[in-house]
Amino acid sequence: KTSFLFEWNSHDNDNEEFSHTILIDKVPYVVGEFNSIRQSGFEEGKHTFQVIVTDKYGDTDSSAVIKFYVKSK
């Protein structure tokens, strides 16, 4: 099956480190300081992707939910 590269950018005004959690179809994957991940195994149809960042104080922020579609050949 085809793999997809998910990439995102994040920054902090205080230049503090933070952790990323991505949600693919509402399933969380903690990816730490990484800002990309390659994922495969998607079934045909509608899917979602979202990034959540957490700083060392436990404060969080998130991206909008991004919808994408997989079509078979």
CA distance 15 to 64: 22
Is residue 29's pLDDT more than 90? yes
Residue 20's pLDDT is: 95
pTM of the predicted structure, to 2 decimals = 0.84
CA torsion through residues 29, 19, 38, 72, sign: positive
- Which tens digit of pLDDT belongs to each residue from 36-65? 999 999 999 999 999 999 988 888 999 999
The pLDDT-based confidence of 2 (bands split at 50, 70, 90) is confident
